Amino acid sequence: MIDLAPESYTRVLTAFGTVLYVDARSGELRHGAIETSPANAYFLAGRGFAGSRRRGWLVHDTGDSREPITCLAERCHRVSPEAGGHETVAPTTLELIPLERGLIAFKAADLFLSAIPDGQIRLIAQRCSTWELFLASEDRCAHASQDDEEPAWEANDAGFDRKRIKDYLVHPLIRARANAEPKARKILIYGYTKWSHGRVYYDLSKRLHRHGYIVDILDWQVNHAGYIEQLIPYYDFFMTALDGIRPLVDLYNIPYDRIIAVSHSEFDIRMLIDQRGIEIFKQFANYGVVSESLYCASLMRGVTRVPMVASLGVNYKEFFSDISESLQTVGYASSMSDKPYGIEVKRGDLAEGATREAGLTFKIAGSTGKQISFHDMPDFYRSVDAIVTSSISETANLPGMEAAAAGRLVIGTPVGHFALRAYQGGGIIAPIESEKFKQFTASTLRYYKENPAAYVDKCCAIQEAARKFDWQHAIGDWIALIEAA
């Protein structure tokens, strides 16, 4: 017997912002615009919902009665006999599967519930992809029973389109309409959704959700003026790199004391001082930097507010791969050239020149203008045997940490995090001066090319050292940054 007590009801939205409801005339379960659809369909959790097997039912609430719903391949409908002439059938017991970042899926009889674009809800999908993603109004529904364990859906791609699930960004407006209240704070990151920044923001939203936070990304390449006022009351703080301060304040009227500002480079510190002056740093809800070198750079720029260091991490398990047997191809995972304030920062020609001089193949992952998805970067590292970075300024040399986790030979300049990471065993430091960098890097690459055993040993040592670079060792910095706001 199903206990239809309303206290445990959870309203369900599709990942595209529509809400589940039952059509009063046909009795069919559908999804439609939240503004015009009746609030009459809910998920009812069964007993033992907090365990590893989360089961429950979809229910139609008419106001006078509550009727469970049966889910079929051709359609879903309430089980009462008058529902479109169907005979009474048993309600469908659904397994609720927490995915990541608050996304959930529903499954029964090896099929997933799908929100078809024409408004139908059907139990039809053999694989969970985008149409099978939902959000719940109760945040407890979206958390796995053991936060530290790898969720089963990530370990098994047979029933889950993992790339599409990971690629899907929850729009903040949909999250606000779901109106889930987490145990911790709600953070909206205003920033770039691609390349290295996108990787960091994705990892943060995923990791922080496991700690009870809701974290979403507001793409700064899109104009949000039409609905920003609906987001401001829901989220506790807006987090952004320093180059996002001006649009947040000037375009969207976000108060400084609602902003957690995070510096990702010396150039964004200089830029914000030029735009707003040094005193602006005192007005933020909190101020952080992503490396120890930026901590010093901020103080040396005259910023009297001492920043908190929120170090970057990598998903060690995702990037981990087998060690190559020999050194043949050198990868480059950044823009070949970048000139903020007229200064060449990346110097990709030096990395390429050193590689060619060592008689090795040079392979570029992409650039700011021609990017690959950051979700494809683990495959890129598997396609090369080493990574070289030649910058004179870096956020934290994220490619160096990722390549280290992949067990590749890593050579880089002592900027950003890399000096510390190399000291910890995660790579080899090259001189910063152009000609010395090229000579040292070419010589080092040539040595490991000619000595495969030494190459394998070095890569094994780098990969083992990279275990310390995992987000589990860095996420506490970000929690402290948020909680101190």
Q: What is the pLDDT of residues 312-360, one digit of tens each?
A: 999 999 999 999 999 999 999 988 888 887 889 889 999 999 999 999 9
Specify whether 158 is located in the same domain as 194: no
Q: What is the pLDDT of residue 81?
A: 53
Domain of 271, CATH number, reads 3.40.50.2000
Specify whether 13 is located in the same domain as 155: yes
Q: 174 lies in a domain?
A: no
Specify whether 268 is located in the same domain as 357: no
Which of residues 140, 167, 194 is at a domain's end?
167
Residue whose tokens read 């970048």: 338
- Following DSSP, what letter does each residue of 370-392 receive, concatenated? S---GGGHHHHHHT-SEEE---S
Burial class of 365 by CB neighbour count within 10 A (0 to 12, 13 to 18, 19+): buried
Specify whether 354 is located in the same domain as 463: yes
The mean of the pLDDT values for the chain is 91
- Following DSSP, what letter does each residue of 44-90 receive, concatenated? EE-TTTTSSS-EEEEEEE-SS-EEEEEE-SS-EEESSTTSTTPPP-P
Residue whose tokens read 């995992």: 470
Percent of the chain with pLDDT over 70: 92
Residue whose tokens read 């939203």: 205
Name the stretches of the chain with pLDDT < 70.
Answer: 1-8, 47-53, 81-88, 145-152, 155-157, 367-370
- The CA distance from 256 to 269, in Å, is 16
Q: 358 lies in a domain?
A: yes
Q: 173 lies in a domain?
A: no
Which of residues 139, 167, 195 is at a domain's end?
167
Specify whether 214 is located in the same domain as 263: yes
- Following DSSP, what letter does each residue of 134-196 receive, concatenated? EEESSGGGGS-S-TTSPPHHHH--SSB-HHHHHHPPPPHHHHHHHT---SS-EEEEEE--SHH
Specify whether 336 is located in the same domain as 429: yes
Which of residues 167, 198, 224 is at a domain's end?
167
Q: Into how many domains does the chain fold?
A: 3
Specify whether 143 is located in the same domain as 193: no
Residue whose tokens read 């974290």: 215
Specify whether 138 is located in the same domain as 212: no
- The CA distance from 356 to 343, in Å, is 25
Residues 68-126 pLDDT 10s: 999 999 999 998 755 444 455 789 999 999 999 999 999 998 999 999 999 999 999 99
- The CA distance from 108 to 350, in Å, is 56
Q: What is the pLDDT of residue 1?
A: 43
Q: How far is CA 109 from CA 29, 72, 80, 87, 309, in A?
A: 19, 10, 22, 21, 48
Q: 176 lies in a domain?
A: no
Domain of 86, CATH number, reads 2.80.10.50
User: Which residue range forms the structural domain that includes residue 92?
Assistant: 6-167
Specify whether 77 is located in the same domain as 19: yes
- The CA distance from 348 to 438, in Å, is 11
